[in-house]
């Protein structure tokens, strides 16, 4: 479960499929990550079930300095985000960048 491994460390934003939170490990290096929480019981459930497997498949394969890295995913079984798919990704911190 989420609460056994991670702590919430601030809300980063929300999108059409869910909320993104900054999280950190409870043990070990206590590294920070970004976690996307998607409600599997809400009105977008059918879209999520249809699109998540493809998104995860692509994320797992991509290794690029230009794409945020995939860490893990699981279905949360506790706390506020019970029955949510959680996708844990590398955390990019900083501001907006302009590419010229």
Cα–Cα distance, 39 to 47 (Å, whole number): 11
Task: Confirm whether residue 24 is marked as ligand binding.
Answer: no
For strands 6-14 and 19-25, give the pairing: antiparallel
Q: Taking a C-beta distance cutoff of 8 angstroms, is the pair 38, 52 a contact?
A: yes
Annotated binding site: 36
Annotated binding site for ATP: 36
């Amino acid at each position: 479960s989420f609460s056994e491994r991670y702590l919430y460390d601030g809300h980063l934003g929300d999108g059409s499929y869910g909320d993104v939170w900054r999280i950190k490990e409870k043990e070990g290096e206590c590294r920070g990550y970004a976690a996307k929480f998607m409600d599997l019981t809400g009105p977008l459930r059918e879209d999520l079930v249809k699109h998540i497997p493809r998104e995860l498949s692509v994320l797992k394969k991509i290794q690029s300095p230009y794409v945020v890295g995939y860490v893990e995913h699981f279905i949360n079984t506790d706390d506020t985000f019970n029955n949510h798919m959680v996708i844990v990704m590398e955390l990019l911190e900083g501001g907006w960048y302009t590419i010229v």
